[in-house]
Amino acid sequence: MLAIIYSNRSQECQRAVALLESLEQKFIQYELNRDFSIKQFYEEFGTEAEFPQVTIYEYYVGIAHVGGLKETLNYYKNKNLL
């Protein structure tokens, strides 16, 4: 499993990184204005989306958009990883 974080380097984004590190979860962090534009972010996640946005790639399952930090916490809790 691989997590992908779309970040603007805010405190919430730093918390998402800390969560994944504490779970020893492999992840890639894409940063606003380095790896993508705000226009690309809104096109991908919608204009109401906030940072961070997290997607999960699971082998044999594919990519699933999880959501923000709260949704990411719930995702890992439901997987019994928290």
> Helices 69-78 and 11-22 sit at what angle, rounded to 10 degrees?
20
Closest alpha carbon to 75 in 57, 50, 48, 60: 57
DSSP summary character for residue 74: H
Q: Using H for helix, E for strand and C for coil, what is the string for 45-59? A: HCCCCCCCEEEEEEC
Would you list the DSSP string of 25-47? Answer: --EEEEEBTTTB-HHHHHHHH-T
In this predicted structure, what is the pLDDT of residue 48? 95
Q: pLDDT of 20-70, one tens digit each?
A: 999 999 999 999 999 999 999 999 999 999 999 999 998 888 899 999 999
In this predicted structure, what is the pLDDT of residue 26? 96
